[in-house]
Each structure stands twice: as C-alpha cells, then as structure tokens.
Chain A
Amino acid sequence: MVSTVVSPALVGLDTATVQVEVDLRAGLPAFSVVGLPDAAVSEARERVRSGVLNQGFAVPARRIVANLAPADLRKSGPQYDLPIALAMLAASGQIPAGCLAGVGAVGELALDGGVRGVPGVLAMAEHAARRGWRRLVVPAPNGPEGALAAGEVEIVPAATLRDAAEALAGTRPVVRPAMPTFDAPSDDARGPDLTEVRGQQAARRALEVAAAGFHSLLMIGPPGGGKTMLARRLPALLPPLAVAEAIAVTRIHSVAGLIDPGRPLVVRRPFRAPHHSISVAGLVGGGRTPRPGEVTLAHLGVLFLDEVCAFAPSVLDALRQPLEQGVIDVVRGNTAARFPARPLLVCAGNPCPCGHDGDPGRRCVCPPGRAEAYRARLSGPVADRLDLRVDVPRLDRDELLGGAAPESSAVVAARVRQAIARRVARGQVIPNAYLGPTAAREAAALDRRGLGLLGRAVDRLALSARGVDRILRVARTVADLDGAEGVGDAHLLEAIALRAPAGPEGS
C-alpha cells in the first residue's frame, strides 16, 4: 500500500515539489528513507518513529520505505519529517487514504510528536498556491507567515502530529492562522535616532542625500568619529517598505531562518553589517543548498561594510554583479539559485591603516607610502560602485558637548519622503541611483551654465564618463531634496563635492 503527500522544497529562494511516498511491504520490520537525502533527512526515521508512537499512533510492523522524488534533487533538513509521518499514517490506514489528495505538508517532528518550525514557509506557501494545492500543513509557529501567501491554498497550522492528522481527517476544525497586520514600525522600532549624533553636519547631509536617491555611500574618518553610528541611523531615514517590498524581504529572511515568530512580517528595512572576515559565500550567498548571503539579506535595506579596506579583495569583487544587476546568481554543483540583492551599500574606512592620518589629536604612525597603498585598495573594486563620499572627522570637545540640538531622524525622513514624492511626481519610478546614463542625462538636464561648470569639473578633476553620470544622478537627488524642477548650479556643485574617489580607471 503506497501513500503519497507532496512537500515543497527550497532551492535558494525558488521552490520545487517533492513527492513523499511511503510504502509498507511485507518483511522484517525496518524503516528506510531513499531519494538523495542528507544526514538530517535520513535521521527523520528516528524522529518519525518516536513522534508517531508518542502521539498515540502505531508504527506498522512492516518493512517501511519512504521515497522522496524526484530522486536527483538533493533533499536537506528535517522538514520532511511531517510529510513522511502523514504518508505513513495514511498508508497504514490510521487516517483516511483520500485525505492527502491535493495536500502538501512541511515540518520537523519533535520526539514527542510536536511540530517544529522550519525556514522558508512563506516561499513554500506561495509555491503551494501557484501549484493549486488544496491545503498546506505547516508548523504552528510558521502559520502566520504562511498566511501571507496570496492565493487559494488553505494553510493548516499544526502544533502536533495529531493536530495535523485530525485536521486532515476532518475530525477537528482547522484554525486559520491570523494574517499578520502590516503596521508601519512604531518610533521606538525604527531604530536609533539621529538626535544622538552631535555635529557632523556634512555627514548628516550625505546620509540625507543617500536616503533620498538610494545612493551608495563611502564614509572616511578616524576611529571614534561616528561612522558606524551614522550608518545605523540610515534605515530609519529611508521610506517605510511597501507591502510588496515587505513580503519580498520577509521571503528572504524566512528562507534564511531569521524570522521572529512574534513578528512574522518584516516591516523594518534590514540593516546588515557583516564583519570584514566574511567569505565570498557568506557575502553573496552559497552553500551546498544555496543560502542567501548578506547582500541578499540586506535587500531593500542597508548593507554596511565597516573597515572596508580590511575585506578580502575577492570578497569585495564578488559584490560587482549584485550591485550592477540587483541580483546574484549562485551556482553550486547541479543547483543554481538567483537571489535578489538591491541593498543600499554603505562603506566606512579609516583614512590610513592606523586610522589617525591627519587627526589633529593623534599621530599617524604609518610608514611612508602605506597610507597611499591603503587608499589605493579602497579605490579598487568597490570605489566605482559608490556614488557619494563624505569625511567623518573626530569631533573636538566643543563640538561634542556644545551646539544646538541636532535634527531628529523624523525631520530628515520627512524631507527624504518629500524628495521621493517629487521624483515620483516627475514620473520616475526608480530611485535616482538606478538611472542609466541616458536617463540620468535626461533627468538632470543642465543649462548652458551648468554644462560649462560640468565641463570644467571634467577637465580639472579628471572625471570619467562614469564619474559624470554619477554626479548627474546625485545632482538630481539634491535638486529633488531642494524641491527644484531642474538641476541648478548649486545642486551640481554639491554633487561634485560629494563625489566618490576615483576608481581604478579614473572616477
């Protein structure tokens, strides 16, 4: 007697259908799992056996074979425990054989038969809806996340194996999971506020421009200047995520297993700050079953690379594709996965290896040439990905203690929202940072004077074509912030002042 239930499998952020078949054959009692399982899947035998028994069901005294098809897809993780158990119950007649038709299931079993949460339920529920499955049994903690999937599929949350069995058999009503509400994050949930940053007028302005145009930013300054403090305050300056964006971010974080069950929908823009010892796979994604990397986890949020010169050049180099195309393709063996990756990149670095070059209070102890070599490293693979550059000096005592109360994040965020509203009113949907060369020239059309000014900048500052495009995009954002129709001299000049350092082939 063979029973079958389907289960969604994750391939990166994509999904595939796995048929879970359980056959009971005559022979000495045994239990085997076949179909390219990894160690966690093979161990399902022990969890299923205990879970089934501890929920008051019987494990048939037969030769039990569970097959996961297609056999060429690598199955990993404990998420097949629940479907195997359900198929076994159906095969042995402990639940009606017909109740698994059109039903998918996913979940890890505890030894007592409880169902534990698994990553990626949102993507799986969307898969179920696309494939027209009638019902999808998910672990109770993942219920609200599954409910986010648009479509006809009925999400059946199960706290235990018995819950799942009875809900499918129709002997117990299905409690639909609560749909998570889309609340904009409250003020205390928006993260740290800009009022806590003293002084640093220039850097605050650069953050504002970065937020308004989604421009990548490089901050240079000695340790203790507040680069990290500033970067952490950037997500709160960005406009709140739209519903579709929040679901996209939630899908990624769900696959990475980062969802807080209490807050199944991610409404805050992510802020990711990987340490500089990170590997290429850690940054852009990878692994035998591809997992999203930091650049994907920061999708639509902020990716902060502190001490950017300390990252391995190969790691920074791997950022090229995601920063240019907004996606990253990870190919491992016979699996290929595509992850979205559109973070706002913020890099921070010291002016020299010891960090104190030019700091009036300290002495730089770097030997001659070291600081130049260090800066050359900075202008390597990342530099031509950066739109803005700002200096973040260490403040002296008066600036730290005195001065007027700084503006709050809410005030700056309001200006950013207005700038974005103006951009949308111009009929431009994408942020200024994503404008192509032609579009940038149109959006930031210059008058004769402006063209003359730009021409002079090209001559005197040795700007390349790419550098000019970047300046035009930033000038458009500055004009948006200013509420101006066209790009004026002052906007252009500020964009020139904010320009990032030259890349390897000129800026």
Chain B
Amino acid sequence: MTARPVPSRVGEAGLGLALVADLLGRDLQRAARAAGSPAALWALDAAGMARLLRLDAEDAARLAGWDRRAALTAARVHLQEHGATLVGAAGAPAAPPRLGAIYDPPLALFAEGDWRVAAARMAESPVIAVVGSRRPSAAGRAFARELAAALTARGALVVSGLALGVDAAAHEGALDAGGHTVAVLGAGLAHGYPRANAHLRARIRRAGCLLSEYWLDTPPAPWRFPARNRIVAGLAHAVVVVEAGARSGALITADFALEAGRPVLAVPGAPWSDGSEGCNALIRAGAALCCGVDDVVAEVAHPGWRDDAAVPAELPEGFPAEVHARLREAPRRVDELAGALGRDAASVSAALALLEMDGHVLRGEGQRYWATPRAAR
C-alpha cells in the first residue's frame, strides 16, 4: 500500500491503530510517541510503521499485506453490529480531559452500554475508582459494596476494572444503589472476560458502560491488565484501594493515580492480615485513610457531592441485637455464639437469619458470621 491515506475523520487513527495493535498482538503506545502523535503514526505507510515498530520480516509482511481501507470499513460494521461505539468519533462524546492528562493516554477507547450518559456523568460528578484484591475476604467484599453504594448515594460515579472480587463488588454496590458505573476491561469488548462476571456485565451495559482501549476481539493477556489500570486511574478523581495484598494489581492503579497527581485512599487492615498488606503499605507511603464515604468526600474537592447518605436498616431489638453485638467483637460461628450466649443453635440461627435479611450480618470465611462493615460514614 503506497498511497497515503486521506486525512481522516475523527477517531480514524485511533480505530486504525487499535486494529494494527490487534493484528500484531502488541502495544503501539511507544511507537505513537516516537512518531509524534497517534495521527502521525497512522499516517505512515506500512513500511514506515514497520521501521518504527522494528517489526521482524514476518510481521512486516503481515502489515504490508493488510488492507487498511477494507479493515476500517469492516471494523466500523463490526462495531455497529456489536453495539459498541468509538469514543470521540462522530456522535460520541469524547473521554474526559482528565484521561488525556495521564502519561500514556489510550490511542482509542471503545464503549459498550450508554456511553453518552456515562460521559456526561464523568464530566459533572466526582468519579471514584474503587479497586482491590481479586480474592478479598467476605468483609472486604462487603465493604467494597457498601462503599460503592454510599459513594453513589452521595452523587459519585464509581469506576473499576470488572475483575473478580473487590472490583465486581464495587460495580454491584453502585448498581444496587440505583446508580451508574463504568467498567474498564483488560480485553476487547467482544471477549466476555472474565466469564464469571457475565451477569454483571449485562447489568452494567444497562446502567453505565464498559470501556476498553483494545479492539473488540483482542484476547485478554497478563500485560493488558496493568495497562487497563492506568485508564481506571486516569478516569477517576481519586482511587480507593479496598483490600490489596503486597503484590496486588490494585497497587498499580494507585501508582498510576499518584503519577497523575490524583489522591489515593486505602482501607486499613489489621497488621496480621496478609490480605491488607498492600493497603497498609500505601498508608505508610502517604495515602489517605479510608474508613467510609466521608473520608473520600473529604479528600476529593468536587461540587458534585450530595449530602443524602444512605440510611442503614435499623437493628432489630432483643436477642438479635445481642448476637450482633457479639459479632461486632469478632466474627463467630453459630456454635460459638450459642456457647457464648447460652442458647441453642436453633435460636441463634433464627436470630442470624433476621440479621442477615436486613444486611446486618453476612456469612464469611471459616463458616463464620460477620457484622457487616458500614461505609456510610
């Protein structure tokens, strides 16, 4: 292909480069910087791109044999069929300028769901990323859900990475509170990864949107998840890390946020809990402490905050209240509660059922019941 492409409509370079990245299975960020801009990289012919990307002979031949006109047309059809839009293209609002301010903004961004509403919310509301371990404790999961719900009630838009664990809990909390949420994926939108969250994806598509910088069919790869985290951090005004081990990917999100000069908050953990080592390290390094929604509001100055906080259901009186008080001391099993309170397992179970129904307790690890952590403070 020797003819220079005609100067393009909005987003053509982004779409084209996403296709090239998918074709070659690699990241084009560095090449785009070397070329001066994504548009400049896209304006190069196949040979020029191959030189800049230092492609081997095989990949260079693949790129040379690739018909970019035809591919672009096919891609636009494919986008429409999938119901996805190219962020910033004709008719679709651009991403918030915050995202462009990070070191390495994505070359393209594909959206599925209601991008128009999500973009408007991102422009006018505080955007808070809630991230954390893929294998949180039951309490960590519950706290992420509660915090996301409380943030939503206070007018924030919750962003996360749709991973298992804390990410999924944060999205759920925002949706359960009747809000929107934005999920940034580490694979193409058509890939349905992670499969366990398929149901959640469908909910987000209806109330919020899914974003990915990768072409629809791009498969997940280990290096794409850290890259995804920079977009999560880039979209947010602040990042809250709910539960993260010493090597959690959530810490990468926090690093990106710090790099972009955005506040990072961490939910502290007990020193004997491995699951919160990363959070505690963040606090040691200067991250703000997050024990509830008020800490986030205090850290992020934004006119979009509202006052109406969610009111938790009232605690039932009598024996269930006694059970709840015991659980606030420490998570316990039915047998332990029965022994400590001098009642039989049947009546303890009944009290727990009542408490569980109103969300005061939850079933957690070790077959123990936990008092639900509250985040609405």
Residues of chain A touching chain B, judged by Cβ–Cβ distance below 8 Å, are: 199-202, 204-205, 220-221, 351, 357-360, 368-369, 371-373, 376, 391-393, 399, 453, 456-457, 460-461, 478, 489-490, 493-494, 496-498
Contacts and interface: CB of A to CB of B under 8 A. Distances in A.
21 contacts: A202-B334, A202-B338, A205-B345, A205-B349, A221-B367, A358-B364, A359-B365, A368-B165, A369-B194, A373-B196, A376-B196, A391-B363, A393-B366, A393-B368, A399-B335, A457-B357, A460-B359, A494-B347, A496-B353, A497-B352, A498-B349
B119 interface: no
Contact of B357 (A221, A393, A490, A496): A496
Given A369-B134, A392-B367, A202 B196 contact: no
B164 A493 contact: no
A493 B364 contact: no
B135 interface: yes
B194 to A, nearest CB: 7
Interface string B338-377: 1100001111111111101111000111111000000000
Given A201-B338, A368-B164, A368-B165, 18 more contacts: A199-B335, A200-B335, A202-B348, A205-B346, A220-B367, A351-B367, A357-B365, A358-B367, A358-B368, A359-B365, A373-B196, A456-B358, A478-B346, A489-B350, A490-B347, A493-B349, A494-B349, A497-B356
Contacts of A453: 354
Contacts, number: 91
A456 B357 contact: yes
B333 interface: yes
Contacts of A490: 346-347, 350
Contacts of B165: 368
Contact of A359 (B133, B339, B345, B366): B366
Contacts of A205: 344-346, 349
B335 A360 contact: no
Interface of B: 133-135, 138, 164-165, 194, 196, 333-335, 338-339, 344-354, 356-359, 363-368
Main SS at interface, chain B? helix
Contacts of B352: 497
B134 A497 contact: no
A493 B354 contact: yes
Contacts of B353: 457, 493-494, 496-497
Given A360-B366, A369-B194, A372-B164, A393 B333 contact: yes
A201 B368 CA distance: 14
B369 to A, nearest CB: 10
List the 8 closest pairs (A to B, CB-CB), nearest first: A358-B365, A391-B367, A368-B134, A493-B350, A497-B349, A497-B353, A201-B345, A202-B334
Nearest to A376: B196
Residue with the highest number of chain B CB atoms closer than 10 Å, among A357, A358, A371, A457: A358
Contacts of A351: 367
B345 A204 contact: yes
Contacts of A202: 333-335, 338, 345, 348-349
**Most chain A beta carbons < 10 A, residue from B338, B353, B354:** B353
A392 to B, nearest CB: 7
Nearest to A209: B346
A357 B364 CA distance: 10
A266 to B, nearest CB: 33
A348 B367 CA distance: 14
Greatest chain A CB density within 10 A among B134, B334, B349, B351 is at B349
Nearest to B357: A460
Contacts of A357: 365
A40 to B, nearest CB: 51
A200 B345 CA distance: 9
A369 B164 contact: yes
Contacts of A199: 335
Given A202-B345, A357-B365, A399-B335, A369 B196 contact: yes
Contact of A201 (B344, B358, B359): B344
B248 to A, nearest CB: 10
Most buried by B among A220, A360, A376, A490: A490
Contacts of A376: 196
A358 B366 CA distance: 4
A425 to B, nearest CB: 22
Most buried by A among B333, B335, B352: B335
Contacts of B364: 358
B81 to A, nearest CB: 29
B347 to A, nearest CB: 7
A368 B225 CA distance: 15
Nearest to B133: A368
Contacts of B194: 369
B367 A393 contact: yes
A391 B333 contact: yes
Contacts of B344: 201, 205
A200 B334 CA distance: 9
A242 to B, nearest CB: 29
Contacts of B357: 456-457, 460-461, 496
Nearest to A471: B353
A336 B95 CA distance: 67
Contacts of B365: 357-359
A372 B196 contact: yes
Contacts of A221: 367
Question: Which of A220, A360, A399, A497 has the largest number of chain B CB atoms within 10 A?
Answer: A497
Nearest to A221: B367
B228 to A, nearest CB: 16
A470 to B, nearest CB: 14
A460 B361 CA distance: 13
A201 B196 contact: no
Nearest to B352: A497
Contacts of B349: 202, 205, 493-494, 497-498
A204 B358 CA distance: 27
A201 B335 contact: yes
Contacts of A478: 346
A446 to B, nearest CB: 15
Nearest to A391: B367
B71 to A, nearest CB: 34
A199 B356 CA distance: 24
A65 B344 CA distance: 74
Contacts of A494: 346-347, 349-350, 353
Contacts of A201: 334-335, 338-339, 344-345
B350 A497 contact: yes
A262 B7 CA distance: 96
Nearest to B345: A201
A369 B164 CA distance: 7
Nearest to B168: A372
B205 to A, nearest CB: 20
A23 B358 CA distance: 82
Nearest to B358: A460
Nearest to A392: B367
B57 to A, nearest CB: 38
Nearest to A358: B365
Nearest to B349: A497
